[in-house]
């Protein structure tokens, strides 16, 4: 009979150890997941900022060279880009993050027209100076 009591007590002790471990591990997993998600968002934001700034620089180079200057660049669009626009002297991209939407913009001296992709992936953008002094961005 004593042996059955020891087994029961051992089972309760194991259950308590598992319960305390779960109480510690579950919140820790949420914190780590949140940190990883924030890091991923930060990498995507930095990558998109670099791409938008590079596009602005290339658009200015083509603008200053004038018609019929033309350049092609690779432009990477990360996941969760919802809107993009090239109009006037502004390049504007909106991306959703775990903390909400973020706008990434750059301005140029070039007067631009055209469009940018919003679907994730890598695209070859063609930046072309037109006869009427605009810079056209297309993919």
49-98 residue pLDDT tens? 999 999 999 999 999 999 999 999 999 999 999 999 999 999 999 999 88
Give the chain's domain count.
Answer: 1
CA angle 116, 137, 115 (to 5 degrees): 30
Q: How many CA atoms lie within 13 A of 34 on its CB side?
A: 7
Nearest to 135 by CA among 65, 76, 75: 65
Nearest to 134 by CA among 114, 105, 115: 114
Structure tokens that stand for 77 in this block: 């669009």
Q: How many CA atoms lie within 13 A of 8 on its CB side?
A: 5
- Summarised one tens digit per residue, pLDDT across range 22-58 is 999 998 888 888 778 777 888 999 999 999 999 999 9
**Boundaries of domain holding 93:** 2-138
Q: Provide the whole-model pTM.
A: 0.73
């Amino acid at each position: 009979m004593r042996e059955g009591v020891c087994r029961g007590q051992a089972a309760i002790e194991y259950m308590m150890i598992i319960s305390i471990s779960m109480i510690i591990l579950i919140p820790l997993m949420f914190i780590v997941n949140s940190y990883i998600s924030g890091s991923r968002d930060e990498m995507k934001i930095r990558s998109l900022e670099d791409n938008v700034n590079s596009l602005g620089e290339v658009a200015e180079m083509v603008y200053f060279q004038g018609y019929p200057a033309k350049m092609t660049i690779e432009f990477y669009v990360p996941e969760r880009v919802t809107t993009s626009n090239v109009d006037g002297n502004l390049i504007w991209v909106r991306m959703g993050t775990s903390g909400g939407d973020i706008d990434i913009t750059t301005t140029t001296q070039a007067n631009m027209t055209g469009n940018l992709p919003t679907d994730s992936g890598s695209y070859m953008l063609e930046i072309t100076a037109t006869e009427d002094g605009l810079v056209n961005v297309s993919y």
